[in-house]
Structures are given as structure tokens and as C-alpha cells.
A and B are shown apart, each in its own frame.
Chain A
Amino acid sequence: MSFLLDGVMNTTWQQLVMFAVGAILIYLAINKKLEPALLLPMGFGAILVNIPFSGAITQTMAGIGEVTGILDWLFTVGIHAAEAMPLLLFIGIGAMIDFGPLLSNPKLILFGAAAQWGIFATITCAALLGFNLTDAASIGIIGAADGPTSILVSQVLGSKYVGPIAVAAYSYMALVPIIQPFAIKLVTTKKERAIKMPYNPRSVGKTARILFPIIVTLVAGYVAPASVSLVGLLMFGNLIRECGVLGSLSETAQNVLANLITLLLGITIAATMKADVFVTVQTIMIMALGLLAFVFDTIAGVLFAKLLNLFSKNKVNPMVGGAGISAFPMSARVIQRMGQEADPQNHLLMHAIGANVAGQIGSVIAGGVILGLVPGLL
């Protein structure tokens, strides 16, 4: 009857730490409502894969041989083989995005580029801490503030830290309302935060809405071909939304497809949260670097807006630059709230939403650019 105690006797302290990590993720998802669709499956998955001899992951059994576990299988097929899950999720995300605020005020797209600097600053910090270039680039991409992009880039680059990177990316996305005000206040005065921006949107025609995803795909594809899968599927989803003849497909992409992939993505990522690779000093470093990436992103966006103000008659509220990250719509809401704190009559929401959707484009382009450039530097 000793087999009844095999599990207990083979539990390591690292596995107990992972049970605690899983419990914390579940707590944050349920009690604090932080990205519950991802953190809850990841938290429960972290428990599943760390039970000794867990059947959820591949095990070698005496007399039988290797028995494939469902989570390892999902990871191999859904992420490792062709990054199918994060890429398919982009179709749903693209179908959810309304590029209208950006199309009506094109200048805002520049913030989607500037705020990506945080990714590269974090890569340098990770390199200074001793990570090799592929791992550093995978860690830096947490600054894309975009979970699927972080998972895809770290997986394609072959990083062994996919689990901690995914946890950091989704956790900090949920913590944007805390991180961004801190970073913005570091580099702005109250007077700057009170700058008002008139909102006079120009009307956006249907043709422009349809041409936009096609043109973005072509431009990104020719300049950064590695970004085609990311940008292309995001824009494919958006084209389905905007074409006006695929209403039911658009609805399916936004709801059924996005929900189904999200459900599986969280628990599949848990396959990478095995105690022996997760409970390390590097995981703590990755969590710290991920936080730094979000701070750098925000500061870069704000400083770029200040730079534009030196050459522009119509001043931009520098905080809008900080919304040039992919965390949508949390970042735009933060900017609106901070603008009203500085001046109750200050309404920045639509400008911030424009910068925020620009950040969604910028982050997938950044992911593709990194995938294109890193192999050449190895």
C-alpha cells in the first residue's frame, strides 16, 4: 500500500512553492479580478502540472513507456508547433478593435511606435543581468504589454522562460492602473497633466476602414516580414469586422473564437510552469524586468509626446503618449482618469484610445521586428 504515499513522499519544496504561486494567481483572478480569463487557468494549471507524477503532463511509466499528458500535448500542438493559439487569438483581437479614433487623428499612431522603446531598454537591462540575447529579447517583449505577442516571441526564439514571461506579461497588464500613474508622475508636472486637447474627429469612411488593415499588412510585411503572421492575423480579424458583409464571422471571432483560445491558452501555458524550471532566481529577475519594461514603455511614450510638443502648435497632453502601449483599454482609461484628476474638465479618453490602439499595432510590429533582427545578431 506504499503507493498511496508515493505522491506525498515525492513532493519537493519547489512544487509546494508552485502550489502557492497557483493559489496566488487564482486569488488575484477571483478576488482582485486581475485578467481572470488568463490568470485563473494559469493558476489552476500551475497546480495540475506540479502534482507529483501528474497525468496532465508527459510521464514515463514503468513497463508502459512514455505517456503523453494533455497539457504537454496542447503545448506541443497549440503553441510549440506553429504558435497557433496566440496567432489565432489575434484574429479575435483584430475583430474587437475599432481603429476609428486612430484613423480620425493619424498623429496618434506615432505614440504606438515610441512606447515600444521600453521593450528594447528592458532587453539591454536583461543583457546586463547576464541573460543571453534570445532570453533577453524574450524578456524584453513583456514590454509589448501584449500576452499573445510575448508568448509567441519567446516561444519562437526558443526561450526556456515562456512560463514566467507569460505570467509577468498578463500580471502587469492587469496592473497597468497602478504602474502607469506612478511612471507618468515621474516625468510630468501637474500643469502638463492638465493640458487640454480639443476633440474634433474627422469622419472616417468605410473605404478607409477597409483599406487600413490591408495597407498595414502590406507595409509591415515588406519592412518587417517576420511580423506578417502577427500583424496579418490581427488585420485579418479587423478586415472581417470592417468589411460589413461578414457580421456573423466577426461576432464569432470576437466572442467564440477569442474565448475558446483564451480558455485553452491559459491552461496550456501552465505546461511551462513546472517547478524545476519555474522556481529559480531567473523567474524573480524576469518579474522585476517585466515591471521595468512597463515603466520604460510609459516614460518613453510620455517623453516622445513632450518632444512633439516642442515642434507643434497644438499641444498634446504628454500622458496620451503613455497610452501608446497595447494594454487596451486599461491604459486609455488610466490617462482619462489622471487627466480629470489634474483638471476635472479635461477629457482625454478618445485621444488616449487612439494612442492605445496604435500601441496594439506597434506591439505586434515590435514582436515581428525582434523576430526578424535577433537571429541576425546571434
Chain B
Amino acid sequence: MNASVVTHSLTLMWQGMAAIFAVILIIYFVLLLLGKKKKKADK
């Protein structure tokens, strides 16, 4: 076992999850916006 590889894997974990959540959260807010636009159009 190489300790630095394990450390890098943990760095990859937090950076990777942060990046994925960043992308997904932006998409989530875009989806909410698209939904609102639709509601306005319905009115």
C-alpha cells in the first residue's frame, strides 16, 4: 500500500464529489427555473 496514493484518492473523493454536486446543483436550479417559466406560460 502506498500512503500517498491513498491520500490522493481521498483528495479525489472530496474534490470529485464537490465538482459533481456543483454541476448537479446548477442543473437543479436550471430545472426549477424552467419549471417556473412553464407555470408563467400556463397562466
Contact = CB atoms under 8 A, between A and B. Distances in A.
Contact of A223 (B5, B23, B31, B34): B23
Contact of A113 (B24, B31, B34, B37): B24
B12 A362 contact: no
A365 interface: yes
Nearest to B19: A369
Interface in A110-135: 110, 112-113, 116-117, 119-121, 123-124, 126-133
Nearest to A119: B16
Given A121-B13, A133-B9, A369-B16, A202 B2 contact: no
A216 B27 contact: yes
A106 B25 CA distance: 10
Contacts of B30: 212, 215, 219
A219 B31 CA distance: 12
B28 A211 contact: no
A95 interface: no
> Majority SS of interface residues in chain A?
helix
Contacts of B21: 113
A219 to B, nearest CB: 5
Contacts of B12: 120, 123, 133, 137, 370, 373-374, 377
Contact of B19 (A121, A136, A207, A224): A224
7 contacts: A106-B28, A110-B25, A113-B21, A113-B24, A369-B20, A373-B19, A377-B8
Interface of B: 1-2, 5-6, 8-13, 15-17, 19-28, 30-32, 34-35, 37-39, 41-42
